[in-house]
Amino acid sequence: KAYSMGITTGRTKGDAAAIPFMKRALELDPNFAMAYAGLGLEYGNLGQASLAAENIKKAHALRDRVSEHEKYRIAALYYQNVTGELEQASQAYELWAKSYPQDLVPHANLGVIYAMLGLYEKAMTETQESIRLEPTVTGYGNLTGLYLALNRLDDVKKTIQQAQERKLDSYIFHQEICALAFLEGDATEMERQVAW
Protein backbone atom coordinates (compact mmCIF):
# COMPACT_ATOMS: atom_id res chain seq x y z
CA LYS A 1 0.00 0.00 0.00
CA ALA A 2 2.84 2.44 0.80
CA TYR A 3 4.32 1.84 -2.68
CA SER A 4 0.97 2.54 -4.38
CA MET A 5 0.56 5.70 -2.32
CA GLY A 6 4.06 6.73 -3.40
CA ILE A 7 3.17 6.31 -7.08
CA THR A 8 -0.08 8.26 -6.68
CA THR A 9 1.56 10.99 -4.62
CA GLY A 10 4.42 11.35 -7.11
CA ARG A 11 1.99 11.79 -9.99
CA THR A 12 -0.18 14.37 -8.23
CA LYS A 13 2.10 16.20 -5.77
CA GLY A 14 5.58 15.63 -7.13
CA ASP A 15 8.66 13.57 -6.48
CA ALA A 16 9.70 14.91 -3.07
CA ALA A 17 6.28 14.10 -1.61
CA ALA A 18 6.52 10.49 -2.85
CA ILE A 19 9.86 9.64 -1.22
CA PRO A 20 8.53 8.93 2.32
CA PHE A 21 6.04 6.41 0.89
CA MET A 22 8.77 4.58 -1.05
CA LYS A 23 10.99 4.51 2.04
CA ARG A 24 8.11 3.12 4.09
CA ALA A 25 7.52 0.38 1.52
CA LEU A 26 11.20 -0.59 1.85
CA GLU A 27 10.96 -0.62 5.64
CA LEU A 28 8.12 -3.13 5.30
CA ASP A 29 9.94 -5.20 2.66
CA PRO A 30 13.69 -4.59 2.15
CA ASN A 31 13.61 -6.80 -0.98
CA PHE A 32 10.84 -4.87 -2.76
CA ALA A 33 12.48 -4.27 -6.15
CA MET A 34 9.84 -1.87 -7.45
CA ALA A 35 10.06 0.32 -4.33
CA TYR A 36 13.81 0.67 -4.98
CA ALA A 37 13.05 1.51 -8.61
CA GLY A 38 10.41 4.05 -7.53
CA LEU A 39 12.74 5.63 -4.98
CA GLY A 40 15.50 5.79 -7.60
CA LEU A 41 13.13 7.45 -10.04
CA GLU A 42 12.04 10.05 -7.48
CA TYR A 43 15.64 10.88 -6.58
CA GLY A 44 16.57 11.05 -10.26
CA ASN A 45 13.73 13.46 -10.98
CA LEU A 46 14.96 15.62 -8.11
CA GLY A 47 18.48 15.75 -9.56
CA GLN A 48 20.06 13.46 -6.97
CA ALA A 49 21.87 11.19 -9.42
CA SER A 50 23.95 9.18 -6.95
CA LEU A 51 20.94 8.28 -4.79
CA ALA A 52 18.97 7.47 -7.94
CA ALA A 53 21.70 5.14 -9.23
CA GLU A 54 22.15 3.48 -5.83
CA ASN A 55 18.47 2.57 -5.56
CA ILE A 56 18.05 1.57 -9.20
CA LYS A 57 21.07 -0.75 -8.89
CA LYS A 58 19.30 -2.43 -5.95
CA ALA A 59 16.14 -2.82 -8.05
CA HIS A 60 18.20 -4.24 -10.92
CA ALA A 61 19.81 -6.79 -8.59
CA LEU A 62 16.31 -7.93 -7.51
CA ARG A 63 14.76 -7.94 -11.00
CA ASP A 64 14.28 -11.73 -11.06
CA ARG A 65 11.51 -11.24 -8.46
CA VAL A 66 9.27 -9.01 -10.62
CA SER A 67 6.75 -9.36 -13.44
CA GLU A 68 7.61 -8.86 -17.13
CA HIS A 69 5.97 -5.44 -17.02
CA GLU A 70 8.13 -4.40 -14.07
CA LYS A 71 11.27 -5.76 -15.76
CA TYR A 72 10.78 -3.22 -18.56
CA ARG A 73 10.68 -0.42 -15.99
CA ILE A 74 13.77 -1.60 -14.13
CA ALA A 75 15.77 -2.20 -17.32
CA ALA A 76 14.89 1.20 -18.76
CA LEU A 77 15.70 3.01 -15.50
CA TYR A 78 18.96 1.09 -15.20
CA TYR A 79 20.14 2.05 -18.70
CA GLN A 80 18.94 5.63 -18.33
CA ASN A 81 20.16 6.42 -14.81
CA VAL A 82 22.97 3.97 -14.03
CA THR A 83 24.85 3.15 -17.25
CA GLY A 84 23.76 6.23 -19.23
CA GLU A 85 23.05 4.13 -22.32
CA LEU A 86 20.19 6.23 -23.68
CA GLU A 87 19.77 4.12 -26.84
CA GLN A 88 19.33 0.98 -24.70
CA ALA A 89 16.93 2.85 -22.41
CA SER A 90 14.87 4.14 -25.33
CA GLN A 91 14.68 0.61 -26.79
CA ALA A 92 13.40 -0.70 -23.45
CA TYR A 93 10.81 2.07 -23.26
CA GLU A 94 9.72 1.48 -26.86
CA LEU A 95 9.23 -2.26 -26.21
CA TRP A 96 7.36 -1.43 -23.01
CA ALA A 97 5.08 1.02 -24.85
CA LYS A 98 4.32 -1.58 -27.53
CA SER A 99 3.64 -4.29 -24.96
CA TYR A 100 1.55 -2.04 -22.68
CA PRO A 101 0.10 0.76 -24.87
CA GLN A 102 -2.09 2.20 -22.09
CA ASP A 103 0.85 2.73 -19.73
CA LEU A 104 1.90 6.39 -19.52
CA VAL A 105 5.38 5.75 -18.10
CA PRO A 106 7.23 4.62 -21.23
CA HIS A 107 5.81 7.55 -23.18
CA ALA A 108 6.75 10.03 -20.46
CA ASN A 109 10.28 8.70 -20.18
CA LEU A 110 10.77 8.47 -23.95
CA GLY A 111 9.87 12.16 -23.96
CA VAL A 112 12.66 12.84 -21.48
CA ILE A 113 15.23 10.82 -23.42
CA TYR A 114 14.28 12.39 -26.75
CA ALA A 115 14.61 15.84 -25.16
CA MET A 116 18.07 14.90 -23.84
CA LEU A 117 19.00 13.92 -27.38
CA GLY A 118 17.64 17.23 -28.77
CA LEU A 119 14.73 15.52 -30.56
CA TYR A 120 12.16 18.00 -29.27
CA GLU A 121 9.31 17.22 -31.65
CA LYS A 122 9.50 13.49 -30.81
CA ALA A 123 9.80 14.43 -27.14
CA MET A 124 6.64 16.54 -27.34
CA THR A 125 4.69 13.77 -29.09
CA GLU A 126 5.61 11.22 -26.40
CA THR A 127 5.01 13.67 -23.54
CA GLN A 128 1.62 14.67 -24.90
CA GLU A 129 0.69 10.99 -25.22
CA SER A 130 1.65 10.40 -21.58
CA ILE A 131 -0.58 13.32 -20.52
CA ARG A 132 -3.43 12.00 -22.68
CA LEU A 133 -3.13 8.63 -20.92
CA GLU A 134 -2.89 10.19 -17.45
CA PRO A 135 -2.42 13.86 -16.62
CA THR A 136 0.41 14.12 -14.07
CA VAL A 137 2.52 16.87 -12.51
CA THR A 138 5.62 15.42 -14.14
CA GLY A 139 4.01 15.20 -17.57
CA TYR A 140 2.84 18.79 -17.49
CA GLY A 141 6.20 19.89 -16.05
CA ASN A 142 8.08 18.13 -18.83
CA LEU A 143 5.81 19.64 -21.47
CA THR A 144 6.30 23.17 -20.14
CA GLY A 145 10.07 22.60 -20.18
CA LEU A 146 9.90 21.49 -23.81
CA TYR A 147 7.84 24.53 -24.76
CA LEU A 148 10.38 26.77 -23.01
CA ALA A 149 13.22 25.10 -24.92
CA LEU A 150 11.36 25.79 -28.16
CA ASN A 151 10.58 29.39 -27.12
CA ARG A 152 6.83 28.71 -27.33
CA LEU A 153 5.96 30.97 -24.42
CA ASP A 154 2.19 31.09 -24.99
CA ASP A 155 2.13 27.27 -24.88
CA VAL A 156 4.08 27.38 -21.59
CA LYS A 157 1.36 29.58 -20.08
CA LYS A 158 -1.48 27.43 -21.45
CA THR A 159 0.12 24.22 -20.20
CA ILE A 160 0.68 25.57 -16.69
CA GLN A 161 -2.91 26.84 -16.63
CA GLN A 162 -4.21 23.41 -17.72
CA ALA A 163 -2.22 21.72 -14.95
CA GLN A 164 -3.47 24.18 -12.35
CA GLU A 165 -7.06 23.66 -13.53
CA ARG A 166 -6.53 19.96 -12.79
CA LYS A 167 -5.32 20.89 -9.28
CA LEU A 168 -1.79 19.72 -10.10
CA ASP A 169 0.91 21.82 -8.49
CA SER A 170 4.61 21.39 -7.92
CA TYR A 171 7.82 23.36 -7.57
CA ILE A 172 8.31 22.50 -11.27
CA PHE A 173 5.62 24.98 -12.33
CA HIS A 174 7.00 27.70 -10.12
CA GLN A 175 10.43 27.23 -11.72
CA GLU A 176 8.86 27.43 -15.18
CA ILE A 177 6.79 30.50 -14.26
CA CYS A 178 9.97 32.15 -12.96
CA ALA A 179 11.83 31.29 -16.19
CA LEU A 180 8.93 32.61 -18.22
CA ALA A 181 8.89 35.85 -16.17
CA PHE A 182 12.64 36.21 -16.76
CA LEU A 183 12.19 35.83 -20.51
CA GLU A 184 9.40 38.41 -20.45
CA GLY A 185 11.32 40.83 -18.21
CA ASP A 186 8.72 40.60 -15.42
CA ALA A 187 10.79 41.18 -12.25
CA THR A 188 7.69 41.32 -10.03
CA GLU A 189 6.57 37.83 -11.06
CA MET A 190 10.12 36.51 -10.67
CA GLU A 191 10.23 37.86 -7.09
CA ARG A 192 6.83 36.33 -6.35
CA GLN A 193 8.01 32.90 -7.56
CA VAL A 194 11.29 33.11 -5.64
CA ALA A 195 9.34 34.06 -2.49
CA TRP A 196 7.10 31.02 -3.03
What pLDDT is stored for residue 91 in this prediction? 95
List CB contacts of 68: < 8 A, sequence separation 6 or more.
99
> Quick count: other Cβ atoms within 10 Å of Cβ 83?
13
* Single-letter residue type at 58: K
What pLDDT is stored for residue 121 in this prediction? 92
Q: What is residue 64's DSSP assignment?
A: G
What pLDDT is stored for residue 15 in this prediction? 87
Q: Where are the alpha helices (DSSP H) in the chain?
A: 2-13, 15-28, 33-45, 49-61, 68-77, 86-99, 104-116, 120-133, 137-149, 153-165, 171-184, 187-195
pLDDT digits (tens, 9 = 90+) for 80-129: 999 999 999 999 999 999 999 999 999 999 999 999 999 999 999 999 99
For residue 174, pLDDT over 90 is answered with no
Taking alpha carbons only, the member of 120, 108, 125 closest to residue 11 is 108
Q: Taking all residues of the chain, what is their mean pLDDT, rounded to a whole number?
A: 93
Structure pTM?
0.79
Q: What is residue 152's DSSP assignment?
A: -
Confidence of residue 170 (pLDDT cuts 50, 70, 90): confident
pLDDT digits (tens, 9 = 90+) for 25-50: 999 999 999 999 999 999 998 999 99
